[in-house]
Structure 1
C-alpha cells in the first residue's frame, strides 16, 4: 500500500515545554493496512507525539491529518468517533468488570456506532442489539485468546493478558487507526508472538492501520513494515525496518557512543 494516501499524518509537528523542544518539526505518515513502529531512547518524544496524534495535546506548530482532513484542533472524542483508538503505557482497564464486560462497555459508549450499525439496522430491537454486541465481543475475545477468561475480573489478570485485553477493547467497535503505546510491556515471549499474530490479522483481515511505540526493538523490527526513529524530539531516521536497523545514527542513539 506504499502508493496509497496516508490515513494518519503528522506534518511539521512541534511541541515546547517551556524552553524545551519536546518535538521539533516531526513528519510521520501511516498508510492503510500498515503496521509502523515508532522507537527512540527515553525522552525522545514518542509519547508526546502520541498525545498530539490522539488529540490529548495540541501542537505549538504543525498539523495532524486523519483521513486527509485537518484534525489538529479536534478533540480525542471526535477522533475516536472517526475511527482512531489509543492504548496507554499505564493500563486503563475497568478492573471491577469482567473481561467480557470491558468489551461490552467499549461498544456502548457511542450508542451502538461503528461496526454494529448494520446489526442495529437489521435487528433494531434492544434485544437484537444486545445479541449483536455480545456476539461481537465473543468474536474479538476468541481472536485475542481471551475467551477462556471472559468471566474473570479484569483487575485479576496477569500483565500480559491485561495488555491483550486493552487491545481487544480498542478494536471491538471497529477501529480503523490504532495507536498502541508499549503494547508488549510485561508480556512473555509466547504472548509477544500472540500479540504479533493478532496485529497482523487486524491489518490483513480488517484493514486496520497500526502505529506502535515499543522499547523491544527486535519485536518492532519483526512486526513493522516501516519504522520511524525519534531522538531529542526530531526524526532521526525513517524507512524499511532493515534499513533503519542498519543505520549507524540509530545504533549510536541507542548505544550512546559513535559506531
Structure 2
C-alpha cells in the first residue's frame, strides 16, 4: 500500500480551557479522496489550520512525504504543494478570475520569467473547471457557487500534491456540485493528488470519498468506507441524536 503523503499524528490543540483536538491521527495518500465530517464544533477547521501551518499543535506532529513539517510555515507548505481552500472565501475580489489564478503562480517567477506560461496554465485550469466564460469577470462580483469553483481552480493553478478543501460545496447548486466533484476526481485520479475534504453536505462526501473520518468533540469517532461510517451507531448518535426516523446521508 502507498505510504501516506500527508499524516498528522497525536494532534492536540487547546484554546485556553477548551480542548479543541485530542490525540487526532489522520492521513491521506496520493490519489485518494478522504472525507472529514463531524457536527459543528467537532474541530474540523482547527485540524485544517494545523495541517496547513496556520496553527501549531500543542502536541503531536505533521509528516509530509515522510518528512516532519510540524514547524514549517504556511508559505513553505503551499510552495511545496499543500494547497487549501477556506470555509469563508478568500478570493482576490478586485482581480479578475483569470488574474486570481495567475497570482497563485507568481512565486515561480515574475513577468519576465513566466507571465505567458502562467496565463496559459490559468486558461487550461479555467477550461477544466468550466469557467472559461468568467475569465475576465471580477471575482468579487461572482455568486457563491461560482466563487467556490474559482477558489478550487486557484488551488489547482500551480499543480498541488495535497488539496485541503474546506466546505467547497457550501452554497452551490446541484449542477455546480457535480462539476466540482468531477474536477476533484480528476485531480486525484489523473494528477495523483491527495485530497482531504471537509464538508457538511454528507451525501456529497459519501458519494465522492473512498474513505471517511468522523470527528466529534475533538476526537476521531470513526473511520472507514462511506458504507461503514453511515452504518456506525456512534456516528448516527453524534449527528442525529436518538431520532431513528432520520437518515444520515440526506
TM-score (norm 1): 0.91
Q: Which residue of 2 aligns with 1:18?
A: 16
Runs of 5+ unmatched residues, structure 1: 113-124
Matches for 1:86-235 after TM superposition, within 5 Å: 86-111=84-109, 126=112, 129-235=114-220
How many aligned residue pairs are there? Answer: 244
Moved more, 163-172 or 103-112: 103-112
Could you tell me whether the CA contact under 8 Å between 2:108 and 2:114 is conserved in 1?
no
1:258 deviates by 7.4
TM-superposed deviation, 1:81:
1.4
- Deviation at residue 82 of structure 1 after TM alignment: 1.1
Deviating above 3 A after TM superposition, structure 1's stretches of 4 or more consecutive aligned residues are none
Partner SS, residue 175 of structure 1: coil
Q: CA deviation at 1:230?
A: 0.2
Could you say which residue in structure 2 is the equivalent of 1:121? Answer: none
Measure the CA separation in 2 of the matches of 1:56 and 1:160.
26
CA RMSD, 1 decimal: 1.3
Q: Which residue of 2 aligns with 1:75?
A: 73
Q: If the length of structure 2 is used for normalisation, what is the TM-score? A: 0.95
